[in-house]
Chain A
């Protein structure tokens, strides 16, 4: 191959690679990205049944119940405006507790959110950015109730 053609071939190969990466990513992201919803969004019907989503909010006080098998827990996630019941089978993460922030990954099944994974606030100072506003709203709501 002549040097000039070689450079042309390399350049087009690089461009094709970029194009392929973008197309593959677009195809994959179309139905594999899971949206982050709050209980208010769920109540508004934003998430279809069975669609993978993340649910974020505060764990409602006195809402954690345990099933008879000992490893399934049920609790309610709230954002101050609406509430969503959640079911999870497994050991809840460190720092998962009533009244603090949590994010559940899973899907909605007949009104209950079935979680595959639960992520909790990792330490006292750390708050997922998505929950930053939420916690302020929640606190404001609570003072009003008092």
Chain B
């Protein structure tokens, strides 16, 4: 029954989305009063998708093998948490999660948003419903998650063991919250372009959504990077895999949008620009979904290679992005440009931030899609990896990171003072860091060396907005900005240290043998068999010491039977100044074991920086919402006036 109830809820939600579309057209053509039911319908639509998703979760939690999706992706012997997580660890389930978040976001906009005029809100909710409608069609026509099997098979086929990890349970939902949060910005932008009301009120309505989505994307990317680092056993934290790029591209666009939206909110300037970015940011989310879900790429995330679904998603992408750009082309030119600003001003600084982010986005975008383009044109297959992205986007990212230290010091509209005096100390620190690396580590590469310099400069410069005032009276948003910018410096420092100072050792060792690695001595104690709920493994016991005190690490190679697969479980020990990362490989005919050991100084700063960036975003979000709450007038008054 549960599967049928879920399917029925989906059909009803699709019907309501179509009704919302109709309401929007009527409201735009005649009068706003027609659209009175809009908010309520949006809320119900979100509720229905929640019911559908809950039904799918239930089917997975109970291991109901008569549902085809459960049979294909689950197994009764799996730990409970992975049974539940299996609901979105596959194509159909993740698309259902996507549309659920999309519709629930619409509900929240309907319940909470009071900033814009009612007409713009109705147009925005209508656009959100049109987005959802496309994805309902995709689910109901090409990827029904509730299809039944008859007779029900005795047990399921299991889940890719690489994905049986706590990281998986939260990584995709976090990223989806980010992707889909940007859909609200997109819908607001489309709604405002339809009504022509692109102003600072719109920017303030959009801002919490952009900020929230951006926080989720930051967390999702950081967590995904750590997952790849410890689960794949390759010791790397970013592989420039197209699937990783699919999450980076919306983040870059959202970062640009987050900054330009502040200009629109504070000064009413950069109207067309901000609307364009809102359209681009969600387009990147959809392109990301298309890349991951269509199976077009060679990657773990490509669950199935299915041309029909790919074509369907591509058509949706084409229609939505094409329509939004067409609307922008017609209406963008009619927008009045807001308050003017001088060449040296905070607005200009933010424009430069946006330009650099856009160029980096363009480079990542072209590098990611180039292989697809070449293959479609000439049939030749090629791949674009780290050598391209590091060499082309890396230097630009360093330039951007150094400007991050300067931009926040500029004042709106026109800079009257000179800010160079403030920057003396950071510049000195940056220079000192450069000089130290030249003396102490003469043969590290140019990018990590500059990375150290820029990180030191930015770490000092990022706190300047709090200097010279009482920092405890500064608004939370300022604290948020400072912490996020400081987080960039932290992450950059970690990346530079990891690239410059990692020591690696690959060897075959017999039990008792000692290997040296950087400052460490690592002894292989023993190798023993062990087992878990649905796997067996060989486990190596390593004892690592530097000076006094020793730590024990137990890396494993696991063998799964449903489906048959092997994974390396790295053993990682964290110290204040780095991580010891160990992997055990295959047995050697001579009685030894392959060991791969890394000492990675300060590598944890990479994810620590990512967490700081997200924390900064969260502080800014709470600061703004807190102030809105305090200022908001009585809600009865607002209800009376909105259709007046």
Q: A interface vs B, CB < 8 Å?
A: 1-4, 6-7, 10, 13-14, 17-18, 20-22, 24-25, 27-29, 32-36, 52, 54, 66, 69-71, 89-95, 103, 105, 122-130, 132
B308 within 8 A of A: no
User: Is there an interface contact between B362 and A18, defined as CB atoms closer than 8 Å?
Assistant: yes
User: Is there an interface contact between B337 and A7, defined as CB atoms closer than 8 Å?
Assistant: yes
Q: In the complex where A29-B370, A91-B568 touch, is A52 in contact with B380 (Cβ < 8 A)?
A: no
User: Is there an interface contact between A28 and B586, defined as CB atoms closer than 8 Å?
Assistant: no
User: Is there an interface contact between A34 and B341, defined as CB atoms closer than 8 Å?
Assistant: no
B residues near A17, Cβ cutoff 8 Å? 355, 358-359, 362
Minimum CB–CB distance from A1 to chain B (whole Å) comes to 5
Complex partner residue of A33 from B233, B303, B383, CB under 8 angstroms = B383
User: Is there an interface contact between B565 and A24, defined as CB atoms closer than 8 Å?
Assistant: no
Minimum CB–CB distance from B507 to chain A (whole Å) comes to 6
A-B contact pairs, 12 of them (CB 8 A): A1-B343, A4-B337, A6-B337, A6-B341, A22-B362, A27-B392, A32-B384, A94-B233, A94-B566, A123-B563, A129-B295, A129-B305
3 interchain residue pairs of minimum CB distance: A21-B362, A70-B508, A36-B381
Q: For chain B residues 476-509, which have a beta carbon within 8 Å of chain A?
A: 506-508
Complex partner residue of B363 from A24, A71, A94, A95, CB under 8 angstroms = A24
Q: In the complex where A32-B388, A33-B382, A125-B563 touch, is A91 in contact with B583 (Cβ < 8 A)?
A: yes
User: Is there an interface contact between B337 and A3, defined as CB atoms closer than 8 Å?
Assistant: yes
A residues near B564, Cβ cutoff 8 Å? 124
Minimum CB–CB distance from B371 to chain A (whole Å) comes to 7
Question: In the bound complex, what is the Cα–Cα distance between A102 and B208 (angstroms)?
Answer: 46
Question: In the bound complex, what is the Cα–Cα distance between A105 and B382 (angstroms)?
Answer: 11
User: Is there an interface contact between B342 and A1, defined as CB atoms closer than 8 Å?
Assistant: yes
Question: In the bound complex, what is the Cα–Cα distance between A92 and B567 (angstroms)?
Answer: 11
Q: B interface vs A, CB < 8 Å?
A: 160-162, 233, 270, 272-273, 295-296, 298, 300, 302-305, 336-338, 340-343, 351, 355, 358-363, 366-367, 370-371, 374, 380-385, 387-388, 391-392, 396, 506-508, 563-568, 583, 585-586, 588-590, 592, 594, 596
User: Is there an interface contact between A13 and B305, defined as CB atoms closer than 8 Å?
Assistant: no
User: Is there an interface contact between A13 and B363, defined as CB atoms closer than 8 Å?
Assistant: no
Q: In the complex where A2-B340, A24-B392, A66-B588 touch, is A32 in contact with B387 (Cβ < 8 A)?
A: yes
Cβ-closest chain A residue relative to B396: A24
User: Is there an interface contact between A66 and B589, defined as CB atoms closer than 8 Å?
Assistant: yes
A residues near B303, Cβ cutoff 8 Å? 126
A residues near B585, Cβ cutoff 8 Å? 91-92
Question: In the bound complex, what is the Cα–Cα distance between A104 and B362 (angstroms)?
Answer: 28
Minimum CB–CB distance from A100 to chain B (whole Å) comes to 11
Minimum CB–CB distance from A88 to chain B (whole Å) comes to 11
Complex partner residue of B359 from A1, A21, A70, A90, CB under 8 angstroms = A21
User: Is there an interface contact between B340 and A32, defined as CB atoms closer than 8 Å?
Assistant: no
Cβ-closest chain A residue relative to B300: A122
Complex partner residue of A20 from B298, B342, B359, B596, CB under 8 angstroms = B359
A residues near B272, Cβ cutoff 8 Å? 7
B residues near A14, Cβ cutoff 8 Å? 273, 355, 358
A residues near B351, Cβ cutoff 8 Å? 10, 13
Question: In the bound complex, what is the Cα–Cα distance between A22 and B273 (angstroms)?
Answer: 20
Minimum CB–CB distance from B16 to chain A (whole Å) comes to 36
User: Is there an interface contact between B566 and A95, defined as CB atoms closer than 8 Å?
Assistant: yes
User: Is there an interface contact between B381 and A94, defined as CB atoms closer than 8 Å?
Assistant: no
User: Is there an interface contact between B506 and A13, defined as CB atoms closer than 8 Å?
Assistant: no
B residues near A105, Cβ cutoff 8 Å? 383, 385
User: Is there an interface contact between A3 and B340, defined as CB atoms closer than 8 Å?
Assistant: yes
Question: In the bound complex, what is the Cα–Cα distance between A17 and B358 (angstroms)?
Answer: 7
Specify which of A1, A7, A18 lies most central, judged by the most chain B CB atoms within 10 Å of its CB. A7
User: Is there an interface contact between A123 and B565, defined as CB atoms closer than 8 Å?
Assistant: yes
User: Is there an interface contact between B385 and A34, defined as CB atoms closer than 8 Å?
Assistant: yes
Specify which of B270, B362, B508 lies most central, judged by the most chain A CB atoms within 10 Å of its CB. B362
Question: In the bound complex, what is the Cα–Cα distance between A11 and B340 (angstroms)?
Answer: 15
